[in-house]
Amino acid sequence: MHDLSGLIAYGSVFLSLALINGIVCLGLNLQWGQTGLFNVGIAGFVGIGAYTSALLTSAPVDGRFGGFGWPIALGLIAAMFTSGAVSALVGAATLRLRADYLAIATFGVAVSVQLVLRNAERVTGGNFGVSFIPRPFASLAARPALFGTLNLVLVAGVVGVLYVALDRLMRSPWGRVLRAVREDERAAAALGKSAARFRLQAFTIGGALMGLAGALEAHLIGFIAPDNFESTLTFQIWTMLIIGGSGNNLGALLGALLVATIWSVTGLATGALFPPEDQARAAALRIVAIGVLLAATIVLRPRGLLGERLGVSRHLTGTTKP
Partner 1 sequence: MSMQFVADGLVAGATIGLGAVGVTLTYSILRFANFAHGEFISWGCYLTLVIAGAIGAWVGPSIAPLGALSIGPNVLAAGLLAMALTGLLAIGLDALLFRRLRRHGSSITAVIASFGAALALRAALEAIFSSRPVYLSQDLQIAIRVGGLRITPDQLALLGVAVLLVGALQLLLSRSNAGRSMRAVSENPALARIVGIDVAAVIRLTWFIGGALACASGVMLGLVVQIRPTMGAELLLPLFAAAILGGIGSVPGALLGGLIVGLAEAAAVQAIGAEWRAAVAFMILIAVLLLRPAGLFGRTD
Instruction: Name the helix (H) or strand (E) containing 44.
Output: helix 42-57
CA distance 87 to 201: 10
| Shortest Cβ 295–partner 1 spacing (Å) | 5
By the rule CB under 8 A, 7 interacts with partner 1: no
Q: How far is CA 24 from CA 42, 210, 212, in A?
A: 8, 5, 8
| Shortest Cβ 44–partner 1 spacing (Å) | 11
105, 200, 218, 306: residue in contact with partner 1 (rule CB under 8 A): 105
**Residues 74-93, interacting with partner 1 (CB under 8 A):** 93
131, 287, 303, 309: residue in contact with partner 1 (rule CB under 8 A): 287
Per residue in 149-184, is it b (16+ CB within 10 Å) or e — as a string? bebbebbeebbeebbeebeeebbeeebbbbbbbbee
224: which residues sit within 8 A by CB, 6+ positions away?
50, 51, 54, 129, 130, 133, 217, 218
Nearer to partner 1, 3 or 277 (CB): 277
Q: How far is CA 111 from CA 43, 247, 306, in A?
A: 9, 27, 32
By the rule CB under 8 A, 27 interacts with partner 1: no
Nearer to partner 1, 26 or 243 (CB): 243
Number of Cβ atoms within 10 Å of the Cβ of 53: 33
| Shortest Cβ 98–partner 1 spacing (Å) | 8
By the rule CB under 8 A, 180 interacts with partner 1: no
DSSP 8-state class, residue 277 = G
108, 144, 307, 311: residue in contact with partner 1 (rule CB under 8 A): 108
| Shortest Cβ 113–partner 1 spacing (Å) | 10
By the rule CB under 8 A, 238 interacts with partner 1: yes
291, 301, 310, 314: residue in contact with partner 1 (rule CB under 8 A): 291
Q: Which stretch binds partner 1 (CB under 8 A): 80-88, 109-117, 209-217, 259-267?
A: 109-117
By the rule CB under 8 A, 115 interacts with partner 1: yes
By the rule CB under 8 A, 53 interacts with partner 1: no
Instruction: Name the helix (H) or strand (E) containing 165.
Output: helix 144-171
By the rule CB under 8 A, 274 interacts with partner 1: no
By the rule CB under 8 A, 258 interacts with partner 1: no
Q: In degrees rounded to 5, what are phi and psi of residue 132? A: 55, 40
Q: Which of 11, 15, 31, 14 is nearest to 241 (CA)?
A: 31
CA distance 114 to 109: 9
Contacting residues toward partner 1, per CB under 8 A? 36, 38, 40, 93-94, 97, 99-101, 103-105, 107-109, 111-112, 115, 118-119, 231-232, 234-235, 238-239, 242, 280-282, 284-288, 290-292, 294-295, 298-299, 302
